[in-house]
Structure 1
Amino acid sequence: MTQLPASIDATQTMLGDVGYVAGRDLSTVVFLALKLGRPLFLEGEAGVGKTEIAKALAASLDRRLIRLQCYEGLDASSAVYEWNFAAQMVAIRTAEAQGGAERAALTRELFSEDYLISRPLLEAMRPQEGGAPILLIDELDRTDEPFEAFLLEALSDFAVTIPELGTITAPEPPIVILTSNRTREVHDALKRRCLYHWVDYPSFEREMEIVTARAPEAAETLSREVVAFVQKLRGEDLFKKPGVAETIDWAKCLVALDAVELSPAVIADTLGAILKYQDDIQKLQGSEAKRLLDAAKAEL
């Protein structure tokens, strides 16, 4: 188990060692979350690297990553635990075939750990080899308010209650990362439990560092053109602006095509790597891509 970083600089270096290029502002809030044992709430546009922070922490600290992917309709039973109904039915039928068992004893057996299926929140509360795990609660804004209320209680005490077994408390609180794409506002009460950071689109220099780290096979000239073009593209009126993840994907696609520089033809052929809606792609057809490319190259 790797020790927690002792400073902001050490945090920044630790993340960089596993390929995550973090600015000092982000490194500061990550360091404080680790130091104080507080959940970290990361908000920002999709594709700017919020989820990757949890993965980078798990890799750099050599901790297990437990991910709860949120969705509409997610409830406590899906996030915490459920009983293995099929196995319980088999046990009941077996007991009946063997002449029956004492009802109270059978009930205790059926609702024991042997028939319990742990979901991410419960799994994160259990002892782990190598220290407390990284608990990633991803895209929290996809859930509804009742689940937020439940999560608020769970993160307050780092404990969950199973009526048949009692309360299970984490021997060591997990390192909690919550993310939101801000498709709706998350309740203030939950945010107050956390340290908060808005993850914005990076500057040109920062995005160049990221592309160099994540797509090192791309030549520097090509990488600079890719980043400059994407930065210009984000200033356009698009339904979904490309994130850093799309920049990295595009650079890798261009390398796979043996492209050495951007051209309107190359851009037209590979727009699907950075734009995910047909309306946005249509806006870049014809002379529009050339206009943005010329503007991007003029600033290099």
Structure 2
Amino acid sequence: MPVTNQLPASIDETLEMLSDGDYVAGRALATVLFLSLKMQRPLFLEGEAGVGKTEIAKVLAKALDRPLIRLQCYEGLDVSSAVYEWNYPAQMLEIRLAEATGEDDRSAIERSIFSEKHLIRRPVLQALEAPGGRAPVFLIDELDRTDEAFEAFLLEILSDYQVTIPELGTIKAEEPPIVIITTNRTREIHDALKRRCLYHWVDYPAADVELEIVRRKVPGCHDELSRQVVAYVQKLRQMDLFKSPGVAETIDWATALTELDRLALDPETVSDTLGTLLKYQDDIARIEGSAGRELLAEVKADLAAAV
């Protein structure tokens, strides 16, 4: 599917659009994404970190040739960081210039300092104003990192796609943005927000799907190495680790091994490169040594038996 402003007309076209963006998706995801675009409803994506939730928004923006506006959530996120704030230094400078020139019309000064030229637009306001006349893809990433107060504020915005700036009035989106909300489920999101969205759980991919992802994202990786990497990661996810590796870590590991010119896994290479795959020392310590060698032996035996 060529890059176009047109939304996909079917589930099959949605699958093709994702595939052209090197995103390997199942039909369930393509269906809920198609319906989200068709119904102009936010898409709420939940799942473990690193399974490809954020990538969906990136692929969608590129495929539809829309701006991607990202609101990265964090603890303490407030309106001034998410929606708008005033450029206070510039306002103060204008007030002093007015005083220096003898301007004494308070109403004129107020209109001047609270004009759009002093308005700093943050991601929410940018998404509502549709730069270039095209509704953007608005990614609200890791919503679970914010507090309930911001979640309630966001609920109001998603209800009417508008925001009120007391000094300027209400700004309403002419065309609602395409909203993708992601969460790693570190806390539960309130049902009131979920009810306004279509929902999809993004799970770890099956081995054949993950192998296809590695082949697309790391084309220089030797085929045997790709199969061993995926099989190893799949087995790791069955263990009781503090943080199982996501697809992003699988891709990083395959890339690192390719940069080291490896054609297959061996115990020493696995031990030396675990830092690209696992991000907690307790997990690395558990896999190093005899446990890692046994796991690799199981992987190679399973792959040999499958031939």
TM range (shorter): over 0.9
- Residue 269 of structure 2 corresponds to residue 243 of structure 1: no
Q: What's the TM-score once normalised by structure 2's chain length?
A: 0.96
SS at match of 1:299: helix
Cα distance in 1 for residues equivalent to 2:161 and 2:291: 52
Q: Are the equivalent residues in 1 in contact too, given 2:68–2:136 (CA < 8 A)? A: yes
CA-to-partner distance for each residue in 1:204-255, whole Å, 9 max, x for gaps?
Answer: 0100111111111101111000000000011111111000000000000000
**Any idea what the Cα deviations from partners look like across 1:237-295, whole Å, max 9, x if unmatched?**
11110000000000000000000100110000000001001111000111111111111
1:112 aligns with 2:121: no
Alignment partners' CA distance in 1, 2:206 and 2:245? 14
Matches of 1:287 and 1:101 in 2, distance apart?
81
Q: Which amino acid counterpart does residue 53 of structure 1 have in structure 2? A: I
Say whether the 8 Å CA contact 1:48–1:199 is kept in structure 2.
Answer: yes
Unaligned regions of 5+ residues in structure 1, if any? none
SS of equivalent residue, structure 1 residue 117: strand
Match of 1:9 among 5, 8, 12: 12
Task: Output the CA distance in 1 between the equivalents of 2:17 and 2:104.
Answer: 57
Q: Name the CA distance, whole Å, in 2 between partners of 1:167 and 1:86.
A: 24
In 1, distance between residues paired with 2:185 and 2:173? 29
Gaps of 5+ in 2: none
SS at match of 2:32: helix
Give the 4+ runs in structure 1 shifted more than 6 A. none
Is the aligned partner of 1:295 residue 2:298? Answer: yes
Match of 1:82 among 77, 85, 101: 85
**Letter of the 1:129 counterpart:** G
Amino acid at match of 1:257: L
Pick which of 166-175 and 14-23 moved more.
14-23
Aligned-pair distance for 1:130? 5.9
Alpha-carbon separation, structure 2, partners of 1:296 and 1:38: 43
What is the rounded CA distance, in whole Å, between the counterparts of 1:156 and 1:211 in structure 2?
Answer: 39
Given that residues 211 and 227 in structure 2 are in contact (C-alpha distance below 8 angstroms), is that contact kept between their aligned partners in structure 1?
Answer: yes
Give the one of 275, 280, 291 matched to 2:278. 275
Select 2:170's aligned residue among 144, 149, 167.
167
Query: Which residue of 1 is the match for residue 228 of structure 2?
Result: 225
CA distance in 2, matches of 1:277, 1:139: 21
Identity of aligned residues (%): 67
Bigger Cα displacement from structure 2, 194-203 vs 124-133: 124-133
> Where does residue 63 of structure 1 map in the other structure?
66
**Aligned equivalent of 1:138, options 122, 138, 141:** 141
Using the size of structure 1 for normalisation, the TM-score is: 0.98
Deviation at 1:296? 1.6
Assess if the C-alpha contact under 8 Å between 2:130 and 2:177 holds in 1. no
Q: Deviations over 1:62-86 (max 9, x none)?
A: 1000000000011122211000001
1:118-267 map, 5 Å? 118-129=121-132, 131-267=134-270
Give the CA RMSD over aligned residues: 0.9
The Cα of 1:299 is off from its aligned counterpart by 2.0
Partner AA of 2:107 in structure 1: A
Cα 1:130–1:91 shift into 2, 3 Å = closer
Q: Secondary structure at the match of 1:129?
A: helix
Secondary structure in 1 matching 2:131: coil
Q: 1: distance between equivalents of 2:52 and 2:239?
A: 21
**CA contact 1:63–1:130 (8 Å) conserved in 2:** no
Aligned equivalents of 2:295 and 2:31: distance in 1?
A: 35
The DSSP-based 3-state class of the residue aligned with 2:25 is coil
User: Does the 8 Å contact 1:250/1:274 carry over to 2?
Assistant: yes
Match of 1:31 among 30, 34, 38: 34
